[in-house]
Structure 1
Amino acid sequence: MQQVADWQIANFDGLYSDRKKPHHPLDWTNAALYVGMAKWASMADDDTYYEWLKNIGEENEWQLHKRKYHADDHAVGQMYVELFRKYKDEKMIAPTKEQFNFLMFHPSQSALNWDTPYHQDRWNWCDALFMAPPVLAKLYKVTGEKKYLDFMMSEFKASTDFLFDKEENLYYRDERYFDKLDNGTKVFWSRGNGWVFAGLVNIMNELDPKSEEYAYFLDIYKKMAEKLIEIQTPEGHWAMSLLGQEFYPTPETSGSSFYVYGLAWGVNNGILDKEIYEPAVKKGWNAMASHVTKDGMLGYVQPIGAAPGKAWPDKTEVYGTGAYLSAGTEVYKLYGGE
């Protein structure tokens, strides 16, 4: 994990998946990296990683990214709340609170259908469930203000009612995939469901396990977990199209790392049966670690997309690193680390 974290910081502006310029520091891609980096920082032996994250916050005046309603541009708020927890500096979360307060008083009127105007002003694509809801859950936890929780619950339920396939216990990426088939199988994008699965964990970490809100997320989580170990590949990863292993044999490490993270968390918290799920975690983690180069670059990360595609051993992305670091923190605990 340290090797991967150090490599990523050293190559933070690197162009590793044919991009023409680096991502903006507040972009969702980097926000997903920061989520994992903050988890790694909490177990590292020094504050170097916290300082690196804090520097990004300071340079950007603790602002969220530019689109007021878009969940992708809210994701960096997760890192801000984690830094607030460590440093207790109110300015780190003040802009995030202000922006969500605005959204709650001026909620989007858009429908969740893909072709409606301003459709991504609400969480109508499954990636969004990793980006924005955990920020609201964290704000609820650190402020004690229930309005953040209530807003998150109503929007999350609307998205789930729209995107969740009750037969397969997986999420469609968005409305465009409801009736699509890929080689005769329904299209459930691996990283898209990885976003959701990791998002569920990051939300539940903030809630009272005895609350009805927690029970709602736990129900979805357990259904997904059961499906995920059914469809894990013999090599340990998950296919880019979750139901189409034979058509997508190439490993993919961003979605798969999120599954390892979520499953290991479930075992660690006594939610998933260790005898059943630990072998899947072990196989998954070993598969992920086998795709780290000797320098510390995580390979086989699918480039930015919205559907199953391709991945290569020499291509990476910051969100893949974030997923890997998230996974590692839970795997480390599972095998005896503090």
Structure 2
Amino acid sequence: MKKLKFLVAVVLLVSINLSQAQKIKPAKVKKVMKTVADWQIDHYRDAFSSKEPHHPLDWTNAALYVGMVKWAKMAEDTKYYDWLKKIGDKHKWKLYRYKYFGDDQAVGQMYLDLYRKYRDEKMIKPTKEQFDFILLHPAKTSLQWNTPYCLDRWSWCDALFMAPPVWAKLYNITGDRKYLDFMMSEYKATTDFLFDKKENLYYRDESYMAKLDNGTKIFWSRGNGWVFAGLSNIMNELNPESEEYRYFLGIYKNMAKKLVEIQTPQGHWAMSLLGQEFYPTPETSGTSFYIYGLAWGINQGILDVETYEPSVKKGWNALVSHVTKDGMLGYVQPIGAAPGKAWPNKSEVYGTGAFLSAGTEVYKMYKGK
């Protein structure tokens, strides 16, 4: 029996090493991205984490659109832009339910990106009007969790992916600093509150600061993935010579250094980032966001290729190994706020969005090689 277990372990180790050693070819990256994008469009209204399909303007789908826009730019097929545009037209380019709630602003990222392509004022008008109202009536509530109206500000780390890039894009498009100034003020407040300077990771919200999981601090993988990908999306909108860009760059570099240190041998990141021995199950949404952010940094000349490319390569090969023949990305953790479980036959729209974001930067990395 011991000999059999040893042989099984050897086979698994060899298969993992072979997978990680596979060369990444741009054509294959593009092919798997198309398969995943097409599958998701076909299954767009399927329910995964919930009994009913997510509302088209919900944060779950907004994260999908962020990746789908990036894919549309490289797809050489207008059907992806057409699909996104129909969603905006159907909902009159309005943000989702609550005026101050960061998650409900996330769909604005897609609207503003489509505005840049089509230059149709109706695509940007509702977002601009809502943000102008917020500027005139800013929330004064606490960032402490479960206090009254704490969700009117970015009191949870996921929000740093959802809302700040919309403010940054609006600043870039209009040239009006009031959008940038508001974003910077609120982002700094959240970071000062939720960022652990020792670990260079974000707590999901205040309620996790005093908790331990198997003796380790709880840093949720997808939660930090939201932040890390959001940093790239924000910096894309800023002048690299600006003070604001340098602020985000500092956070980004600290997180990137930490992330490569805690990546698992299999290539993914554990659902509890500091507790991989307790969470061996792969998780593809957080991993996709990390691969996106790291590959983006290499492409921007921010991260050293020799140091960071092995992590991107290992992570991308791990992600692709969890894509079914039909194009479903498996092992996406369901909706949550903390480390949990994931399954090979369970997906989610935000996982697909993260995968498509990752693919665009991985493609750029290897296109010239």
TM-score range, shorter chain: over 0.9
Which residue is equivalent to 2:216? 185
Give the TM-score normalised by structure 2.
0.91
Q: Distance in 2 between matches of 1:90 and 1:298?
A: 35
**Greater alpha carbon shift after TM alignment, 106-115 vs 223-232:** 106-115
Q: Deviations over 1:213-253 (max 9, x none)?
A: 00000000000000000000000000000000000000000
Q: Map 1:233-252 to 2 at 5 A.
A: 233-252=264-283
Q: Distance in 2 between matches of 1:281 and 1:90?
A: 38
AA partner of residue 175 (structure 1): E
Q: Distance in 1 between matches of 2:332 and 2:78?
A: 28
Q: Map 1:80-159 to 2 at 5 A.
A: 80-159=111-190
Q: Map 1:209-248 to 2 at 5 A.
A: 209-248=240-279
Which residue is equivalent to 1:8? 40
Which residue is equivalent to 1:300? 331
Measured after TM superposition, the shift of residue 115 of structure 1 is: 2.3
Q: Map 1:249-268 to 2 at 5 A.
A: 249-268=280-299
Report if aligned partners of 2:212, 2:218 keep a CA contact under 8 Å in 1. yes
Alignment partner of 1:59 is 2:90: yes
Which residue is equivalent to 1:276? 307
Q: Distance in 1 between matches of 2:335 and 2:42?
A: 21
Aligned-pair RMSD on alpha carbons?
0.8
Q: Which runs of 5+ in 2 are unaligned?
A: 1-32
Q: Deviations over 1:171-226 (max 9, x none)?
A: 00000000100000000000000000000000000000000000000000000000
Measured after TM superposition, the shift of residue 116 of structure 1 is: 1.3
Select the residue among 185, 197, 205 that pairs with 2:236: 205
Q: Distance in 2 between matches of 1:104 and 1:317?
A: 33
Alignment partner of 1:48 is 2:79: yes
Alignment partner of 1:68 is 2:99: yes
AA partner of residue 269 (structure 2): W
Q: Deviations over 1:95-144 (max 9, x none)?
A: 00000111111000101001210000000000000000000000001110
**Greater alpha carbon shift after TM alignment, 204-213 vs 114-123:** 114-123
Q: Deviations over 1:133-177 (max 9, x none)?
A: 000000001110110000000000000000000000000000000
AA partner of residue 57 (structure 1): G
Q: Deviations over 1:246-305 (max 9, x none)?
A: 000000000000000000000011100000000100000000011000000000000000
Q: Deviations over 1:306-334 (max 9, x none)?
A: 00000000000000000000000000000
Measured after TM superposition, the shift of residue 15 of structure 1 is: 1.8
Runs of 4+ aligned structure 1 residues displaced above 3 Å come to: none
Q: Distance in 2 between matches of 1:274 and 1:299?
A: 29
Q: Distance in 1 between matches of 2:319 and 2:151?
A: 32
Secondary structure at the aligned position of 1:45 is classed as coil
AA partner of residue 34 (structure 2): Q
For these two proteins, the number of residue pairs brought into alignment is: 337
Measured after TM superposition, the shift of residue 336 of structure 1 is: 1.2
Q: 1:202 to 1:279 in 2, by over 3 A?
A: same
Secondary structure at the aligned position of 2:241 is classed as coil
Secondary structure at the aligned position of 1:247 is classed as coil
Select the residue among 47, 64, 67 that pairs with 1:36: 67
Measured after TM superposition, the shift of residue 16 of structure 1 is: 2.8
Q: 1:152 to 1:171 in 2, by over 3 A?
A: same
Alignment partner of 1:23 is 2:75: no
Q: Which runs of 5+ in 1 are unaligned?
A: none
AA partner of residue 83 (structure 1): L
Q: Distance in 1 between matches of 2:136 and 2:236?
A: 26
> In terms of Rg, which structure is larger?
2
AA partner of residue 231 (structure 1): I
Q: Distance in 2 between matches of 1:179 and 1:268?
A: 37
Give the TM-score normalised by structure 1.
0.99
Measured after TM superposition, the shift of residue 337 of structure 1 is: 6.0
Report if aligned partners of 2:48, 2:334 keep a CA contact under 8 Å in 1. no
Q: Distance in 1 between matches of 2:77 and 2:205?
A: 41
